[in-house]
Copies of this chain bind each other. A is one copy, B any other.
Amino acid sequence: MPRTRTESRSSRRQSAREARNAVYRQLIFEAAERTFAEKGVEDSKMEEIAAEAGLALGTLYNVFSGKAKLVVEIHETRMREAVTGIDALTRSTREPAQALMSGIEGYVRFFASHPDYLRMHLRQGYAWGLAGSQPSPAHEAAFGAGIAAQETLFERGMAAGVFHPGRPRVMARLLVAMQQVQLADWVEEGMQRDPADLVSEMQIQARRTFCRNPDCRDLEKD
């Protein structure tokens, strides 16, 4: 059965190729993230990223079609991860205020465990949804998705009378902005402080800003 053998050999090859490719993707992804975090996207040269990944420039281009694509990929991947992680925490809790608290926790946890992406994210400076702004359209798009998820939460919370009224999209961005400020400060201070601490502080602040009953005694009890 030479045919079968051939097929199997080719499929073995196929999967070997895919495996190797996945490894490269990861190496490059992380190298790029680190480099972008350190020097900014603009000042990071493709060659530096390849060197950081320990690969040849050509190999980098075999996996990612260009610098722009690399940036997009990072933002999309990380944001998908963030949204997924936050959703996992949030989905179980129906109560809006509680969900908000969980969301903050998820948000902080995600970035605390991805400090390179955090720095890259902060460095891009989020243009707060300003359509057409493109410090990085990729960042914009990926991040926008995450914000959309929060909008729903705010809609629900307002409908339930738990949150102060307002435009959900703006509220969502406001939340994100507050989180960025705190995370930026955390990075600036050397990431020494316990993230759980950060979470508490941010939760209190968020309650003040968004909840009609900021004390939320029932929430605390949980």
Interface residues of A, Cβ cutoff 8 Å to B:
40, 42, 119, 122-131, 133-135, 164, 166-167, 169-170, 173-174, 177-178, 180-185, 187-188, 201, 205, 208-209, 214
Contacts and interface: CB of A to CB of B under 8 A. Distances in A.
A135 B127 contact: no
A188 B131 contact: yes
A106 to B, nearest CB: 20
B122 A127 contact: yes
A125 B131 CA distance: 13
A183 B173 CA distance: 12
Number of copies of this chain that the complex holds: 4
Given A125-B126, A129-B181, 20 more contacts: A40-B133, A119-B130, A122-B128, A122-B130, A123-B130, A124-B135, A128-B184, A129-B188, A130-B187, A130-B188, A131-B188, A135-B135, A166-B201, A170-B185, A173-B181, A173-B184, A173-B185, A177-B177, A177-B180, A208-B208
A169 B185 contact: yes
A128 B180 CA distance: 7
Contacts of A173: 181, 184-185
Given A125-B127, A209-B205, A181 B185 contact: no
A184 B127 contact: yes
Highest count of chain B CB atoms <10 Å: which of A169, A185, A214: A185
Highest count of chain B CB atoms <10 Å: which of A128, A182, A184: A128
A167 B182 CA distance: 10
Contacts of A126: 125
Contacts of A188: 129-131
Contacts of A127: 122-123, 125, 184
A20 to B, nearest CB: 17
The 5 closest A-B pairs by CB, nearest first: A125-B125, A128-B184, A177-B177, A130-B184, A209-B209
